[in-house]
Structure 1
Protein backbone atom coordinates (compact mmCIF):
# COMPACT_ATOMS: atom_id res chain seq x y z
CA UNK A 1 0.00 0.00 0.00
CA UNK A 2 1.36 3.39 -0.90
CA UNK A 3 1.95 6.03 1.78
CA UNK A 4 -0.50 8.47 0.17
CA UNK A 5 -3.34 5.95 0.37
CA UNK A 6 -2.50 5.23 4.01
CA UNK A 7 -2.50 8.97 4.83
CA UNK A 8 -5.90 9.40 3.19
CA UNK A 9 -7.30 6.48 5.14
CA UNK A 10 -5.96 7.85 8.41
CA UNK A 11 -7.44 11.28 7.65
CA UNK A 12 -10.83 9.74 6.88
CA UNK A 13 -10.85 7.69 10.10
CA UNK A 14 -9.76 10.65 12.20
CA UNK A 15 -12.53 12.78 10.65
CA UNK A 16 -15.13 10.18 11.55
CA UNK A 17 -13.82 9.96 15.12
CA UNK A 18 -13.89 13.77 15.43
CA UNK A 19 -17.48 13.87 14.13
CA UNK A 20 -18.54 11.20 16.65
CA UNK A 21 -16.89 13.16 19.49
CA UNK A 22 -18.72 16.37 18.50
CA UNK A 23 -22.03 14.47 18.32
CA UNK A 24 -21.48 13.03 21.81
CA UNK A 25 -20.55 16.48 23.13
CA UNK A 26 -23.71 17.99 21.68
CA UNK A 27 -25.73 15.18 23.16
CA UNK A 28 -24.23 15.79 26.54
CA UNK A 29 -24.85 19.54 26.20
CA UNK A 30 -28.53 18.84 25.60
CA UNK A 31 -28.66 16.93 28.90
CA UNK A 32 -26.86 19.66 30.84
CA UNK A 33 -29.47 21.78 32.71
CA UNK A 34 -27.14 24.77 32.78
CA UNK A 35 -27.10 24.94 28.95
CA UNK A 36 -30.82 24.37 28.37
CA UNK A 37 -31.55 28.11 28.43
CA UNK A 38 -28.84 28.76 25.84
CA UNK A 39 -30.20 26.02 23.57
CA UNK A 40 -33.73 27.42 23.89
CA UNK A 41 -32.46 30.84 22.88
CA UNK A 42 -30.64 29.34 19.91
CA UNK A 43 -33.81 27.50 18.86
CA UNK A 44 -35.84 30.71 19.22
CA UNK A 45 -33.32 32.65 17.12
CA UNK A 46 -33.39 29.90 14.49
CA UNK A 47 -37.20 30.12 14.28
CA UNK A 48 -37.05 33.89 14.01
CA UNK A 49 -34.41 33.62 11.32
CA UNK A 50 -36.59 31.10 9.48
CA UNK A 51 -39.61 33.48 9.59
CA UNK A 52 -37.43 36.38 8.44
CA UNK A 53 -36.16 34.35 5.48
CA UNK A 54 -39.76 33.47 4.52
CA UNK A 55 -40.74 37.15 4.61
CA UNK A 56 -37.67 38.06 2.60
CA UNK A 57 -38.53 35.45 -0.02
CA UNK A 58 -42.11 36.77 -0.24
CA UNK A 59 -40.87 40.34 -0.64
CA UNK A 60 -38.39 39.29 -3.34
CA UNK A 61 -41.21 37.56 -5.27
CA UNK A 62 -43.38 40.69 -4.89
CA UNK A 63 -40.60 42.94 -6.19
CA UNK A 64 -39.98 40.59 -9.12
CA UNK A 65 -43.68 40.78 -10.01
CA UNK A 66 -43.60 44.59 -9.82
CA UNK A 67 -40.47 44.62 -11.97
CA UNK A 68 -42.17 42.49 -14.64
CA UNK A 69 -45.24 44.76 -14.59
CA UNK A 70 -43.06 47.85 -14.97
CA UNK A 71 -41.23 46.30 -17.92
CA UNK A 72 -44.56 45.49 -19.61
CA UNK A 73 -45.78 49.03 -18.93
CA UNK A 74 -42.56 50.44 -20.34
CA UNK A 75 -42.95 48.34 -23.50
CA UNK A 76 -46.60 49.46 -23.87
CA UNK A 77 -45.63 53.10 -23.37
CA UNK A 78 -42.86 52.77 -25.97
CA UNK A 79 -45.32 51.30 -28.50
CA UNK A 80 -47.91 54.02 -27.81
CA UNK A 81 -45.25 56.71 -28.12
CA UNK A 82 -44.06 55.26 -31.44
CA UNK A 83 -47.65 55.14 -32.77
CA UNK A 84 -48.35 58.69 -31.60
CA UNK A 85 -45.14 59.93 -33.25
CA UNK A 86 -46.08 58.16 -36.48
CA UNK A 87 -49.57 59.71 -36.41
CA UNK A 88 -48.09 63.16 -35.73
CA UNK A 89 -45.69 62.83 -38.66
CA UNK A 90 -48.40 61.49 -41.00
CA UNK A 91 -51.43 63.69 -40.33
CA UNK A 92 -53.76 63.29 -43.34
CA UNK A 93 -54.61 66.47 -45.24
CA UNK A 94 -58.34 65.72 -45.01
CA UNK A 95 -59.97 65.41 -41.60
CA UNK A 96 -63.69 65.14 -40.75
CA UNK A 97 -65.28 68.54 -40.26
CA UNK A 98 -67.26 69.25 -37.13
CA UNK A 99 -70.85 70.17 -37.88
CA UNK A 100 -71.56 73.75 -36.75
CA UNK A 101 -73.84 74.03 -33.74
CA UNK A 102 -77.03 76.01 -33.96
CA UNK A 103 -76.11 77.78 -30.71
CA UNK A 104 -72.60 78.61 -31.87
CA UNK A 105 -73.38 82.19 -32.84
CA UNK A 106 -74.03 84.26 -29.73
CA UNK A 107 -74.94 87.93 -29.35
CA UNK A 108 -72.27 90.15 -27.89
CA UNK A 109 -73.22 92.11 -24.72
CA UNK A 110 -73.85 95.83 -25.23
CA UNK A 111 -71.11 98.28 -24.41
CA UNK A 112 -72.10 99.79 -21.05
CA UNK A 113 -69.60 102.63 -21.48
CA UNK A 114 -71.47 104.19 -24.38
CA UNK A 115 -75.19 104.70 -24.22
CA UNK A 116 -76.96 104.87 -27.59
CA UNK A 117 -78.42 108.24 -28.44
CA UNK A 118 -81.59 106.66 -29.74
CA UNK A 119 -82.91 103.20 -29.23
CA UNK A 120 -83.65 101.46 -32.52
CA UNK A 121 -85.94 98.46 -32.80
CA UNK A 122 -83.96 95.26 -33.25
CA UNK A 123 -83.85 93.92 -36.76
CA UNK A 124 -85.27 90.53 -37.39
CA UNK A 125 -82.40 88.16 -38.26
CA UNK A 126 -82.82 86.41 -41.54
CA UNK A 127 -82.77 82.70 -40.87
CA UNK A 128 -80.94 80.76 -43.53
CA UNK A 129 -81.90 77.18 -44.09
CA UNK A 130 -79.08 74.82 -43.22
CA UNK A 131 -77.77 72.75 -46.09
CA UNK A 132 -76.74 69.23 -45.18
CA UNK A 133 -73.27 68.22 -46.28
CA UNK A 134 -71.36 64.95 -46.12
CA UNK A 135 -68.73 64.49 -43.43
CA UNK A 136 -65.27 63.43 -44.59
CA UNK A 137 -64.44 59.77 -44.01
CA UNK A 138 -61.92 58.79 -41.36
CA UNK A 139 -58.75 56.77 -41.85
CA UNK A 140 -60.35 53.84 -40.01
CA UNK A 141 -63.42 53.92 -42.25
CA UNK A 142 -61.26 53.92 -45.37
CA UNK A 143 -59.22 51.00 -43.99
CA UNK A 144 -62.43 48.98 -43.59
CA UNK A 145 -63.47 49.49 -47.23
CA UNK A 146 -63.05 46.23 -49.18
CA UNK A 147 -59.98 46.14 -51.41
CA UNK A 148 -62.03 45.45 -54.55
CA UNK A 149 -63.87 48.76 -54.02
CA UNK A 150 -60.77 50.84 -53.36
CA UNK A 151 -58.78 49.43 -56.27
CA UNK A 152 -56.04 52.10 -56.54
CA UNK A 153 -58.03 54.94 -54.99
CA UNK A 154 -56.51 56.75 -52.04
CA UNK A 155 -57.96 58.18 -48.85
CA UNK A 156 -57.24 61.74 -50.05
CA UNK A 157 -59.02 61.16 -53.39
CA UNK A 158 -62.20 59.93 -51.69
CA UNK A 159 -62.34 62.93 -49.35
CA UNK A 160 -61.63 65.18 -52.34
CA UNK A 161 -64.73 63.77 -54.09
CA UNK A 162 -66.77 64.35 -50.91
CA UNK A 163 -65.75 68.01 -50.95
CA UNK A 164 -66.72 68.33 -54.61
CA UNK A 165 -70.10 66.68 -54.06
CA UNK A 166 -70.68 69.02 -51.12
CA UNK A 167 -69.98 71.96 -53.46
CA UNK A 168 -72.71 70.68 -55.77
CA UNK A 169 -75.14 70.25 -52.86
CA UNK A 170 -74.49 73.78 -51.56
CA UNK A 171 -74.68 75.31 -55.03
CA UNK A 172 -77.94 73.55 -55.82
CA UNK A 173 -79.78 74.33 -52.58
CA UNK A 174 -78.61 77.93 -52.42
CA UNK A 175 -80.56 78.42 -55.65
CA UNK A 176 -83.41 76.32 -54.25
CA UNK A 177 -83.74 78.54 -51.17
CA UNK A 178 -83.62 81.89 -53.01
CA UNK A 179 -86.75 83.74 -54.08
CA UNK A 180 -87.64 83.24 -57.73
CA UNK A 181 -87.48 86.99 -58.38
CA UNK A 182 -83.80 87.19 -57.37
CA UNK A 183 -82.71 84.50 -59.87
CA UNK A 184 -81.41 85.07 -63.37
CA UNK A 185 -82.70 83.09 -66.35
CA UNK A 186 -80.05 80.35 -66.08
CA UNK A 187 -80.73 79.86 -62.36
CA UNK A 188 -84.51 79.78 -63.01
CA UNK A 189 -84.02 76.97 -65.54
CA UNK A 190 -81.92 75.09 -62.98
CA UNK A 191 -84.59 75.59 -60.33
CA UNK A 192 -87.25 74.19 -62.64
CA UNK A 193 -85.11 71.11 -63.21
CA UNK A 194 -84.52 70.72 -59.47
CA UNK A 195 -88.26 70.74 -58.80
CA UNK A 196 -88.96 68.26 -61.62
CA UNK A 197 -86.45 65.85 -60.08
CA UNK A 198 -88.17 65.99 -56.66
CA UNK A 199 -90.34 63.00 -55.68
CA UNK A 200 -92.36 61.96 -52.65
CA UNK A 201 -89.39 59.87 -51.52
CA UNK A 202 -87.00 62.86 -51.61
CA UNK A 203 -89.24 65.26 -49.72
CA UNK A 204 -87.24 66.95 -46.95
CA UNK A 205 -83.98 65.33 -48.12
CA UNK A 206 -80.88 66.78 -49.77
CA UNK A 207 -79.72 65.08 -52.94
CA UNK A 208 -77.84 65.66 -56.16
CA UNK A 209 -77.80 63.97 -59.54
CA UNK A 210 -75.06 63.57 -62.13
CA UNK A 211 -76.15 66.78 -63.88
CA UNK A 212 -75.63 68.76 -60.65
CA UNK A 213 -72.07 67.42 -60.38
CA UNK A 214 -71.39 68.51 -63.96
CA UNK A 215 -72.84 72.01 -63.48
CA UNK A 216 -71.39 72.92 -60.07
CA UNK A 217 -68.01 71.15 -60.09
CA UNK A 218 -65.13 70.29 -62.40
CA UNK A 219 -65.40 66.57 -61.60
CA UNK A 220 -65.61 64.25 -64.57
CA UNK A 221 -68.68 62.05 -64.16
CA UNK A 222 -67.35 58.72 -65.43
CA UNK A 223 -66.87 55.12 -64.34
CA UNK A 224 -64.13 56.09 -61.89
CA UNK A 225 -66.38 58.70 -60.27
CA UNK A 226 -69.19 56.19 -59.83
CA UNK A 227 -66.66 53.80 -58.29
CA UNK A 228 -65.91 56.46 -55.69
CA UNK A 229 -69.63 56.85 -55.03
CA UNK A 230 -69.83 53.13 -54.25
CA UNK A 231 -67.25 53.71 -51.49
CA UNK A 232 -69.36 56.59 -50.15
CA UNK A 233 -72.38 54.28 -50.09
CA UNK A 234 -70.35 51.68 -48.21
CA UNK A 235 -69.32 54.34 -45.66
CA UNK A 236 -72.98 55.47 -45.30
CA UNK A 237 -72.34 58.96 -46.67
CA UNK A 238 -74.91 58.63 -49.45
CA UNK A 239 -77.70 56.34 -50.57
CA UNK A 240 -79.45 56.09 -53.89
CA UNK A 241 -83.05 56.50 -55.00
CA UNK A 242 -83.73 55.45 -58.59
CA UNK A 243 -86.90 56.38 -60.43
CA UNK A 244 -87.85 57.47 -63.95
CA UNK A 245 -84.37 56.63 -65.24
CA UNK A 246 -82.67 59.05 -62.84
CA UNK A 247 -80.31 58.23 -59.96
CA UNK A 248 -80.59 60.57 -56.99
CA UNK A 249 -77.70 60.58 -54.47
CA UNK A 250 -79.24 61.25 -51.07
CA UNK A 251 -76.90 62.90 -48.53
CA UNK A 252 -76.89 60.82 -45.31
Structure 2
Protein backbone atom coordinates (compact mmCIF):
# COMPACT_ATOMS: atom_id res chain seq x y z
CA UNK A 1 0.00 0.00 0.00
CA UNK A 2 1.35 3.41 -0.93
CA UNK A 3 2.08 5.90 1.83
CA UNK A 4 -0.33 8.43 0.34
CA UNK A 5 -3.20 5.93 0.52
CA UNK A 6 -2.38 5.18 4.16
CA UNK A 7 -2.33 8.90 5.01
CA UNK A 8 -5.71 9.43 3.33
CA UNK A 9 -7.20 6.51 5.26
CA UNK A 10 -5.87 7.87 8.57
CA UNK A 11 -7.23 11.33 7.79
CA UNK A 12 -10.64 9.89 6.98
CA UNK A 13 -10.79 7.86 10.20
CA UNK A 14 -9.67 10.86 12.30
CA UNK A 15 -12.34 13.03 10.70
CA UNK A 16 -15.05 10.49 11.54
CA UNK A 17 -13.81 10.25 15.13
CA UNK A 18 -13.83 14.06 15.44
CA UNK A 19 -17.40 14.23 14.11
CA UNK A 20 -18.58 11.60 16.60
CA UNK A 21 -16.95 13.50 19.48
CA UNK A 22 -18.67 16.76 18.47
CA UNK A 23 -22.02 15.00 18.20
CA UNK A 24 -21.62 13.50 21.70
CA UNK A 25 -20.63 16.89 23.09
CA UNK A 26 -23.69 18.59 21.57
CA UNK A 27 -25.99 15.87 22.90
CA UNK A 28 -24.55 16.26 26.37
CA UNK A 29 -24.95 20.05 26.17
CA UNK A 30 -28.65 19.68 25.22
CA UNK A 31 -29.28 17.59 28.32
CA UNK A 32 -27.80 20.10 30.75
CA UNK A 33 -30.59 21.77 32.81
CA UNK A 34 -28.95 25.21 32.57
CA UNK A 35 -29.08 25.13 28.78
CA UNK A 36 -32.47 23.52 28.18
CA UNK A 37 -34.40 26.76 28.63
CA UNK A 38 -32.07 28.58 26.24
CA UNK A 39 -32.48 25.88 23.58
CA UNK A 40 -36.27 26.05 24.04
CA UNK A 41 -36.25 29.82 23.51
CA UNK A 42 -34.11 29.44 20.40
CA UNK A 43 -36.64 26.91 19.05
CA UNK A 44 -39.54 29.33 19.70
CA UNK A 45 -37.69 32.16 18.01
CA UNK A 46 -37.08 29.96 14.99
CA UNK A 47 -40.82 29.22 14.72
CA UNK A 48 -41.70 32.93 14.96
CA UNK A 49 -39.05 33.78 12.39
CA UNK A 50 -40.46 31.16 10.02
CA UNK A 51 -44.00 32.62 10.38
CA UNK A 52 -42.67 36.14 9.79
CA UNK A 53 -40.90 35.05 6.62
CA UNK A 54 -44.12 33.44 5.35
CA UNK A 55 -46.06 36.66 5.99
CA UNK A 56 -43.40 38.71 4.23
CA UNK A 57 -43.53 36.40 1.22
CA UNK A 58 -47.35 36.72 1.06
CA UNK A 59 -47.13 40.51 1.33
CA UNK A 60 -44.56 40.67 -1.46
CA UNK A 61 -46.82 38.60 -3.72
CA UNK A 62 -49.79 40.87 -2.97
CA UNK A 63 -47.75 43.98 -3.68
CA UNK A 64 -46.58 42.51 -6.99
CA UNK A 65 -50.19 41.85 -8.01
CA UNK A 66 -51.17 45.37 -6.95
CA UNK A 67 -48.25 46.77 -8.96
CA UNK A 68 -49.37 44.87 -12.06
CA UNK A 69 -52.92 46.16 -11.59
CA UNK A 70 -51.69 49.74 -11.24
CA UNK A 71 -49.66 49.38 -14.43
CA UNK A 72 -52.77 48.25 -16.30
CA UNK A 73 -54.72 51.20 -14.90
CA UNK A 74 -51.92 53.55 -15.94
CA UNK A 75 -51.94 52.20 -19.50
CA UNK A 76 -55.73 52.52 -19.65
CA UNK A 77 -55.57 56.10 -18.36
CA UNK A 78 -52.89 56.99 -20.91
CA UNK A 79 -55.01 55.58 -23.74
CA UNK A 80 -58.06 57.52 -22.59
CA UNK A 81 -55.99 60.69 -22.25
CA UNK A 82 -54.65 60.23 -25.77
CA UNK A 83 -58.17 59.74 -27.15
CA UNK A 84 -59.45 62.79 -25.27
CA UNK A 85 -56.57 64.88 -26.62
CA UNK A 86 -57.33 63.67 -30.16
CA UNK A 87 -61.03 64.60 -29.77
CA UNK A 88 -60.08 67.99 -28.38
CA UNK A 89 -57.79 68.73 -31.31
CA UNK A 90 -60.36 67.58 -33.88
CA UNK A 91 -63.57 69.33 -32.79
CA UNK A 92 -65.71 70.00 -35.94
CA UNK A 93 -66.13 73.71 -36.73
CA UNK A 94 -69.92 73.41 -37.02
CA UNK A 95 -72.43 71.28 -35.12
CA UNK A 96 -76.13 70.53 -35.88
CA UNK A 97 -78.69 72.81 -34.30
CA UNK A 98 -80.62 71.49 -31.26
CA UNK A 99 -83.86 71.31 -33.32
CA UNK A 100 -82.31 68.76 -35.66
CA UNK A 101 -83.97 65.32 -35.58
CA UNK A 102 -82.16 62.44 -33.99
CA UNK A 103 -82.09 60.57 -37.29
CA UNK A 104 -80.14 63.34 -38.97
CA UNK A 105 -77.86 63.63 -35.94
CA UNK A 106 -77.01 59.96 -36.21
CA UNK A 107 -76.30 60.44 -39.91
CA UNK A 108 -74.01 63.35 -39.12
CA UNK A 109 -72.11 61.34 -36.48
CA UNK A 110 -71.75 58.42 -38.85
CA UNK A 111 -70.39 60.68 -41.57
CA UNK A 112 -67.79 62.07 -39.18
CA UNK A 113 -66.58 58.58 -38.36
CA UNK A 114 -66.38 57.66 -42.01
CA UNK A 115 -64.43 60.81 -42.83
CA UNK A 116 -67.08 62.24 -45.18
CA UNK A 117 -67.89 65.95 -45.39
CA UNK A 118 -71.55 66.95 -44.98
CA UNK A 119 -73.11 70.33 -45.42
CA UNK A 120 -74.58 71.45 -42.10
CA UNK A 121 -76.63 74.09 -43.89
CA UNK A 122 -78.30 71.46 -46.06
CA UNK A 123 -79.10 69.26 -43.06
CA UNK A 124 -80.57 72.20 -41.15
CA UNK A 125 -82.75 73.14 -44.11
CA UNK A 126 -83.98 69.56 -44.36
CA UNK A 127 -84.92 69.57 -40.66
CA UNK A 128 -86.87 72.83 -41.12
CA UNK A 129 -88.85 71.33 -44.00
CA UNK A 130 -89.65 68.24 -41.94
CA UNK A 131 -90.70 70.44 -39.03
CA UNK A 132 -93.17 72.33 -41.26
CA UNK A 133 -94.73 69.06 -42.47
CA UNK A 134 -95.49 67.83 -38.97
CA UNK A 135 -93.72 69.35 -35.99
CA UNK A 136 -95.77 67.71 -33.15
CA UNK A 137 -95.65 64.21 -34.65
CA UNK A 138 -91.90 64.19 -35.36
CA UNK A 139 -90.75 65.85 -32.14
CA UNK A 140 -88.74 63.36 -30.08
CA UNK A 141 -87.74 63.50 -26.46
CA UNK A 142 -84.00 63.79 -25.86
CA UNK A 143 -82.42 60.49 -24.96
CA UNK A 144 -81.88 60.02 -21.24
CA UNK A 145 -78.20 59.92 -20.40
CA UNK A 146 -77.24 56.67 -18.69
CA UNK A 147 -75.22 56.74 -15.51
CA UNK A 148 -72.09 54.59 -15.42
CA UNK A 149 -72.57 51.33 -13.53
CA UNK A 150 -71.07 51.57 -10.05
CA UNK A 151 -68.93 48.59 -9.06
CA UNK A 152 -67.51 47.41 -5.73
CA UNK A 153 -63.97 48.74 -5.20
CA UNK A 154 -61.26 46.19 -4.45
CA UNK A 155 -60.00 45.86 -0.87
CA UNK A 156 -56.53 47.34 -0.31
CA UNK A 157 -53.77 45.60 1.61
CA UNK A 158 -54.02 48.21 4.40
CA UNK A 159 -57.76 47.63 4.76
CA UNK A 160 -57.24 43.87 4.85
CA UNK A 161 -54.73 44.24 7.71
CA UNK A 162 -57.21 46.42 9.63
CA UNK A 163 -59.96 43.76 9.51
CA UNK A 164 -60.31 42.00 12.90
CA UNK A 165 -58.85 38.53 13.02
CA UNK A 166 -62.17 36.95 14.05
CA UNK A 167 -63.71 38.24 10.80
CA UNK A 168 -60.89 37.11 8.52
CA UNK A 169 -60.39 33.65 9.94
CA UNK A 170 -58.46 31.78 7.25
CA UNK A 171 -59.62 34.05 4.41
CA UNK A 172 -56.85 35.64 2.34
CA UNK A 173 -56.58 39.00 0.63
CA UNK A 174 -56.80 37.40 -2.82
CA UNK A 175 -59.88 35.34 -1.95
CA UNK A 176 -61.79 38.44 -0.83
CA UNK A 177 -60.96 40.44 -3.96
CA UNK A 178 -61.83 37.44 -6.16
CA UNK A 179 -65.35 37.49 -4.68
CA UNK A 180 -65.49 41.28 -5.22
CA UNK A 181 -64.74 40.79 -8.91
CA UNK A 182 -67.45 38.13 -9.22
CA UNK A 183 -69.97 40.44 -7.49
CA UNK A 184 -69.08 43.15 -9.99
CA UNK A 185 -69.94 40.74 -12.82
CA UNK A 186 -73.40 40.37 -11.30
CA UNK A 187 -73.79 44.16 -10.92
CA UNK A 188 -72.76 44.83 -14.53
CA UNK A 189 -74.92 41.99 -15.89
CA UNK A 190 -77.99 43.20 -14.01
CA UNK A 191 -77.76 46.89 -14.91
CA UNK A 192 -76.93 46.22 -18.56
CA UNK A 193 -80.33 44.53 -18.76
CA UNK A 194 -82.01 47.43 -16.94
CA UNK A 195 -80.48 49.86 -19.48
CA UNK A 196 -81.80 47.91 -22.48
CA UNK A 197 -85.03 48.87 -24.25
CA UNK A 198 -87.84 46.41 -23.50
CA UNK A 199 -88.54 45.80 -27.19
CA UNK A 200 -85.07 44.33 -27.73
CA UNK A 201 -85.36 41.79 -24.88
CA UNK A 202 -86.11 38.09 -25.19
CA UNK A 203 -88.73 36.54 -22.90
CA UNK A 204 -86.23 35.24 -20.25
CA UNK A 205 -84.40 38.58 -20.16
CA UNK A 206 -87.73 40.42 -19.85
CA UNK A 207 -88.61 38.23 -16.85
CA UNK A 208 -85.29 39.20 -15.23
CA UNK A 209 -86.01 42.86 -15.97
CA UNK A 210 -89.40 42.72 -14.22
CA UNK A 211 -87.84 40.92 -11.23
CA UNK A 212 -85.20 43.64 -10.94
CA UNK A 213 -87.91 46.34 -10.95
CA UNK A 214 -90.01 44.53 -8.33
CA UNK A 215 -87.03 44.20 -5.98
CA UNK A 216 -86.37 47.94 -5.88
CA UNK A 217 -87.49 49.89 -2.81
CA UNK A 218 -87.43 53.51 -1.76
CA UNK A 219 -84.20 52.77 0.14
CA UNK A 220 -82.45 51.48 -3.00
CA UNK A 221 -83.84 53.98 -5.50
CA UNK A 222 -81.06 55.79 -7.33
CA UNK A 223 -78.40 53.30 -6.20
CA UNK A 224 -76.95 50.03 -7.44
CA UNK A 225 -77.65 46.77 -5.63
CA UNK A 226 -77.78 43.01 -6.14
CA UNK A 227 -79.40 40.08 -4.36
CA UNK A 228 -78.34 36.45 -4.00
CA UNK A 229 -80.48 35.51 -7.03
CA UNK A 230 -78.38 37.88 -9.18
CA UNK A 231 -75.17 36.27 -7.93
CA UNK A 232 -76.51 32.83 -8.89
CA UNK A 233 -77.69 34.17 -12.27
CA UNK A 234 -74.48 35.88 -13.41
CA UNK A 235 -71.66 34.12 -11.51
CA UNK A 236 -70.48 30.72 -10.30
CA UNK A 237 -70.32 31.83 -6.65
CA UNK A 238 -72.13 29.87 -3.97
CA UNK A 239 -73.96 31.77 -1.23
CA UNK A 240 -72.39 29.63 1.50
CA UNK A 241 -70.89 30.40 4.91
CA UNK A 242 -67.58 31.52 3.35
CA UNK A 243 -69.39 33.93 1.02
CA UNK A 244 -71.31 35.51 3.90
CA UNK A 245 -68.07 35.86 5.89
CA UNK A 246 -66.60 37.84 3.00
CA UNK A 247 -69.76 39.99 2.87
CA UNK A 248 -69.21 40.82 6.57
CA UNK A 249 -65.70 42.00 5.71
CA UNK A 250 -67.04 44.09 2.78
CA UNK A 251 -69.58 45.71 5.11
CA UNK A 252 -66.81 46.38 7.63
CA UNK A 253 -64.74 48.07 4.88
CA UNK A 254 -67.82 50.05 3.75
CA UNK A 255 -67.98 48.47 0.31
CA UNK A 256 -71.59 47.32 0.62
CA UNK A 257 -74.53 47.84 2.95
CA UNK A 258 -77.61 45.70 3.52
CA UNK A 259 -81.21 46.74 2.93
CA UNK A 260 -83.72 44.15 4.14
CA UNK A 261 -87.39 43.90 3.28
CA UNK A 262 -89.98 41.49 1.84
CA UNK A 263 -87.83 38.52 2.99
CA UNK A 264 -85.03 39.71 0.73
CA UNK A 265 -81.54 41.02 1.49
CA UNK A 266 -80.29 43.65 -0.93
CA UNK A 267 -76.54 44.37 -1.08
CA UNK A 268 -76.25 48.05 -2.00
CA UNK A 269 -72.93 49.26 -3.46
CA UNK A 270 -71.45 52.03 -1.29
| TM, length-normalised to structure 2 | 0.53
1:67-78 alignment runs, 5 A limit: none
Distance 2:164 2:250 in 1: 12
Give yes or no for the alignment of 1:185 onto 2:164: no
Give yes or no for the alignment of 1:200 onto 2:218: yes
Distance 1:248 1:89 in 2: 31
Give yes or no for the alignment of 1:248 onto 2:228: no
Cα separation, partners in 2 of 1:194 and 1:119, compared to 1, 3 Å: same
3-state SS of 2:258 partner = strand
Tell me the residue number matched to 1:91. Answer: 64
Distance 1:199 1:125 in 2: 25
Distance 1:207 1:183 in 2: 21
- State the shift of 1:184 in Å: 0.8
2:90 to 110, 131, 138: 110
- State the shift of 1:89 in Å: 9.1
Distance 2:188 2:91 in 1: 37
1:18-97 alignment runs, 5 A limit: 90-92=63-65
- State the shift of 1:88 in Å: 8.7
Tell me the residue number matched to 1:19. Answer: none
Cα separation, partners in 2 of 1:186 and 1:89, compared to 1, 3 Å: closer
1:176 to 194, 217, 226: 194
The superposition leaves residues 6-62 of structure 1 with CA deviations (integer Å, 9 ceiling, x where unpaired) of xxxxxxxxxxxxxxxxxxxxxxxxxxxxxxxxxxxxxxxxxxxxxxxxxxxxxxxxx
Consecutive unaligned residues of structure 2, counting only runs of 5 or more, are 1-55, 93-114, 124-141
The superposition leaves residues 119-149 of structure 1 with CA deviations (integer Å, 9 ceiling, x where unpaired) of 466xx99944310011111100000001111
Instruction: Please say if residues 165 and 213 of structure 1, whose CA atoms lie closer than 8 Å, have aligned partners that are also in contact.
Output: yes
Distance 1:207 1:243 in 2: 14
- State the shift of 1:109 in Å: 2.9
Tell me the residue number matched to 2:234. Answer: 216
Consecutive unaligned residues of structure 1, counting only runs of 5 or more, are 1-82
Distance 2:168 2:69 in 1: 19
3-state SS of 1:130 partner = coil
Distance 2:256 2:220 in 1: 13
3-state SS of 2:65 partner = coil
Distance 2:153 2:60 in 1: 21
Give yes or no for the alignment of 1:159 onto 2:132: no
Cα separation, partners in 2 of 1:200 and 1:89, compared to 1, 3 Å: closer
3-state SS of 2:166 partner = helix
Instruction: Please say if residues 95 and 138 of structure 1, whose CA atoms lie closer than 8 Å, have aligned partners that are also in contact.
Output: no
Distance 2:143 2:208 in 1: 28
Q: Which has the higher helix share?
A: 2
Divergent runs of 4+, >6 A: 96-100
How many residues in Structure 1 have an aligned counterpart in Structure 2? 163
Tell me the residue number matched to 1:139. Answer: 157
